[in-house]
Structure 1
Amino acid sequence: MIDRYDPLTVELTEADRPASTAPVRSAVLYAEGGQKHGVWEAEPGVHSEYQGQETVVILQGRATVVGGSGKTVEIGPGDVLVCQPGEKMTWTVHEKIRKVFVINQ
């Protein structure tokens, strides 16, 4: 099966994220065998306790991502971020951000 999505307009659902200081929305477009593909969006604020392994492509917005290892990266539109297995991330979103993600659990 093949499905096509526009990641900028796909409908997102509010997510309950107690470790976030601002609203978070997402849509899972595919999930099977410990893998999830989808779209995630967050308002400016701090979003903690996200854990890898995850690969993302930033569509819009800007954030600072700090890993549990202490590494800090600044990300924006067009960037690809790869988070290694077991790494915990804190996202400080500066401008409303939207990303496409693939998570391996």
Structure 2
Amino acid sequence: MTEAVILSDAFTAPIQPHRAKLTSTTPGQTEASAEVWGADGLRTGIWEVTPGTFTSTRDGFHEVCQILSGRATIEEPSGRTFEIAAGSLFVTPAGWRGTWTIHETLRKSWAVFTLPA
């Protein structure tokens, strides 16, 4: 029998210890995550990042993000910017690139869809 995977409180769920954010341009910025479930090209989890700026790419996968807490500005290579905060839902499709500026520690739930090879 297959059963549901339940995370009762994504706002406070424990995650791995924070470590340096490798693509950060801000010294001391850290991130942490916890994968909740994964199978057949789909993975889901919780991620958190401290204030600062970092670059991001989506090579070979799409990502759906639901912001749980915090606040940030995202800038795309075209110069387009958008604000995200608790309640924001957005998709970064495969091939997407951008720069995130985190104003307040941000926590999101995510789902990543890996493209077939």
TM-score (norm 2): 0.80
Tell me if the contact between 1:68 and 1:87 (Cα under 8 Å) persists in the aligned partners: no
One-letter amino acid of the counterpart of residue 50, structure 2: E
Q: How many residues are aligned here?
A: 105
Q: Identity over the aligned pairs, expressed in percent?
A: 32
Q: Secondary structure at the match of 2:6?
A: coil
RMSD: 1.7
One-letter amino acid of the counterpart of residue 54, structure 2: H
Give the 3 Å change call, closer, same or farther, for CA 15–34 of structure 1 in structure 2: farther
Aligned twin of 1:85: 94
The answer on 1:9 being equivalent to 2:9 is no
- Post-superposition Cα deviations, 1:39-85, rounded to whole Å, max 9, x if no partner, equal 11000001212325111111111001123444311011111111122
Can you give the 5+ residue segments of structure 1 that lack an aligned partner in the other structure? none
The counterpart of 2:40, out of the listed 25, 30, 33, is 33
Aligned twin of 2:22: 18
Q: Secondary structure at the match of 2:91?
A: strand
Give the 3 Å change call, closer, same or farther, for CA 16–50 of structure 1 in structure 2: farther
Deviation at 1:94? 0.3
Can you give the 5+ residue segments of structure 2 that lack an aligned partner in the other structure? none
Using the alignment, how far apart are the partners of 1:69 and 1:30 within structure 2?
A: 34
Give the ranges of 4+ consecutive aligned residues of structure 1 lying more than 4 Å apart after TM superposition: none
Larger Cα-atom Rg = 2
Tell me if the contact between 1:16 and 1:24 (Cα under 8 Å) persists in the aligned partners: yes
